[in-house]
Amino acid sequence: MTKIFRTGAIGALLDEYERAAEELKNVLLHVSEKHFTAVVDTVTQDPDCRSIQTIMNHVVRSGYGYANYIRQHLGDPWIERKEDYELVSPELASNELSKMFAYMVDTFTGKTDAIFENPEQNIIKVRWGQSYDPEQLIEHAIVHVLRHRRQIEKFDSIIVS
């Protein structure tokens, strides 16, 4: 099967985001429903990091948030993200991850790489206090998925052993 690459800087970033999401979905394929909901980290103060289920809700919720920051910055319509995506199984989490990625793709539909020009004048301030240009924010979104994929791999190995 021939891989189709998107064009330009936006296309490259979306290709890498899609790759990260697909890697995460491949990890989820091997997680049982019992392991998906099992509380692994009982001492964390972060409710988003107690189980694979809570991690996936956080990843999906954050993905919509990143897209919304960019949409808002560009003056485009955006949807209010949910607090709970009711991800009760790995399959539902994988499906919602696909929907979130499609929303990010739609965020950039019709946009040109020009949105990455003048980064010093093109700043998005996020709720946790950091400032990003749109390219940095999408790069952050990609790495966010990668970091949590790794966390889920570690959780799953703890549950299985």
- Please indicate, yes or no, if residue 3 is contained in any of the structural domains: no
CATH code for the domain of 59: 1.20.120.450
Q: Give pLDDT tens digits along the chain (161 positions).
A: 788 999 999 999 999 999 999 999 999 999 999 999 999 999 999 999 999 999 999 999 999 999 999 999 999 999 999 999 999 999 999 999 999 999 999 999 999 999 999 988 899 999 999 999 999 999 999 999 999 999 999 987 777 65
Structural domain count of the chain = 1
Residue 66 maps to a domain: yes
Range of the domain at 153: 8-160
**pTM for the model:** 0.94
Tokens of 130: 């950091």
Is there a domain that residue 2 lies in? no
Which bin fits 46, alpha (ψ -120 to 50), beta or left (φ > 0)?
A: beta
Cα–Cα distance measured from residue 130 to residue 123, given in angstroms and rounded to the nearest whole number: 10
User: Does residue 156 lie in a domain region?
Assistant: yes
Classify residue 1: in a domain, yes or no: no
Place of tokens 């301030």: 125
> What is the CA angle 140-117-66, rounded to 5?
25
